[in-house]
Amino acid sequence: MQKIGDFISLLIGGAFMMSPLVYVILQIYALAVFRGNWRRLAGIPLIFMVPILLFTVKAYRDQSNLWPVPLIFSSAFAVLVLAIEMIVRRASRNGKPPPMVD
């Protein structure tokens, strides 16, 4: 039973470690393909990820041994946000953007 637990831990850890790369790919795809309000919604994770990326670069330059941790955990959340947006967009009326809110 221990081997199954180790395997699941390896999968979860691997998913977290891959999340920055997956985030960058999804973010570029969403900004390139989406139009209108969907593109605006796809840009929301950038508001949070740019400062985190700058903090990560600063921590790396300061030779911190934990420099990638904020980027790894926050990019996992950003991937989740973008994935939910893509699912909702697909499920909506043929991908039409949501109505504008003034």
Where do the domains of the chain lie?
Answer: 2-91
- Classify residue 13 as exposed, middle or buried by CB count within 10 Å of its CB (0-12, 13-18, 19+): exposed
pLDDT of residue 102: 52
The tens-digit pLDDT sequence of the chain (102 residues) is 678 888 888 888 888 889 999 999 999 999 999 988 989 999 999 999 999 999 999 999 999 999 999 999 999 999 999 999 998 888 886 656 666 665
pLDDT of residue 72: 92
Smallest CA-to-CA distance from 71 within 16, 26, 34, 31 is with: 16
pTM of the model: 0.79
pLDDT of residue 19: 92
